Amino acid sequence: MLLTSLDPRINRLQVPADWPNSAVKKQLDQWATYEVFTQKRENTPYAYVGPVHAPDLEVAFVFAKEQYSRRAACFGLWVVKTQDIQHTPYVDDNESVFNLLNIPAPATASEQSEAFEIFMLKKRGKAHTHAGTVLASGYQNALAQAKQQFGEQIPCVNIWVAPAAKILKSSEEDKDWWLTLNEKKYREPVAYKVLDKINAFKNRTTNTP
C-alpha cells in the first residue's frame, strides 16, 4: 500500500505506507569531523562557529560555507580536521589555563619550526577566538610559545592549537562569495513592515460605521 498525502508531490513519490522493518539503514552518516572558524567583520579575529562532517577537507570547506556563512556577514572561512587540533583541559571561568598548566619555557625556534594557529576561549559557553600565530617545533612547543606571547590575556579557560598548514583558508579574492547578502533582504526581519499593515487595518475597520 502506498502512502497517501495532502501533498501531491509526496503522492507522486509513491512511498510505501509501511516501511519494511527488515530495511536496515546502511552506516553512511559517519564521515570525518572538521572544525570551522569564520571572520565576521573585516580585520577582526576568526572565531569558532562549529563542526561539519565531510569525506575530505575540500568538501568540508564547501559544507562549512553553506552551514556557517549563508546567513550573516562573513569575510573569511577556515576549516581544519578535528584530529589536527590539540587542546588543553578546561579550567574555571576567571582562571587562566596558562597559569594552571605546567608549561615549560619555550626552546628557541629551530630549523624545523612551523607556524601554529592559537585559539583561546575567554569564557565557558563562548566561542574560541584566534589569538595569533606562533612558530614552533610541535604542539607542546607551540603552547609554550603561546604562553610567552598571549599568556597575559586573562581569563583563558581553554586553548586549541593547530598547524597553520593543516587549515584550509579562504583567500583574499574569495571574499566576493559573501557579497550576495544584500540581494536577500527577505531574510531580514526589517524587510517586513507588519505594523504598518496592522495600523492601516485598524484605521479602516474603526472608521467604518
Candidate residues 113, 129, 140, 158; the one interacting with another protein per rule CB under 8 A: 158
Per-residue mark of binding to another protein, 51-70 (x: CB under 8 A): xxx-xx--x-------x--x
- Nearest distance from residue 3's CB to another protein, in Å? 5
Q: Give the pairing of strands 114-121 and 32-39.
A: unpaired
Tell me which stretch binds another protein (CB under 8 A): 45-53, 97-105, 147-155, 164-172.
45-53
117 lies in the site for another protein, by CB under 8 A: no
Q: Which of 114, 106, 117 is nearest to 80 (CA)?
A: 117
73 lies in the site for another protein, by CB under 8 A: no
Q: Compute the distance between CA of residue 67 and CA of residue 50 in angstroms, rounded to an integer.
A: 9
Q: Which of 41, 49, 60, 38 is nearest to 166 (CA)?
A: 60
Complex with another protein: residue 6 or 179, whichever CB lies closer = 6
Complex with another protein: residue 99 or 126, whichever CB lies closer = 126
Q: Are 198 and 205 in contact (CB under 8 A)?
A: no
Complex with another protein: residue 5 or 99, whichever CB lies closer = 5
203 lies in the site for another protein, by CB under 8 A: no
Q: Give the pairing of strands 129-136 and 158-163.
A: unpaired
Cα-trace Rg, the chain: 25
DSSP letter for each residue of 6-48: SSHHHHHHT-BSS--TT-PPPS----EEEEEEEE-STTS--EE
Tell me which stretch binds another protein (CB under 8 A): 4-12, 101-109, 137-145, 173-181.
4-12
- In the block, residue with C-alpha cell 495600523: 199
Q: Compute the distance between CA of residue 116 and CA of residue 138 in angstroms, rounded to an integer.
A: 8
**How many chain residues touch another protein (CB under 8 A)?**
66
Candidate residues 73, 100, 107, 198; the one interacting with another protein per rule CB under 8 A: 198
Q: Which residues of the chain form contacts with another protein (CB under 8 A)? A: 3, 5-7, 9-10, 13, 15-19, 23, 25-33, 35, 48-53, 55-56, 59, 67, 70-72, 82-83, 85, 87, 89-90, 92-93, 124-128, 158, 160, 184, 186-189, 191-194, 197-198, 200-202, 205
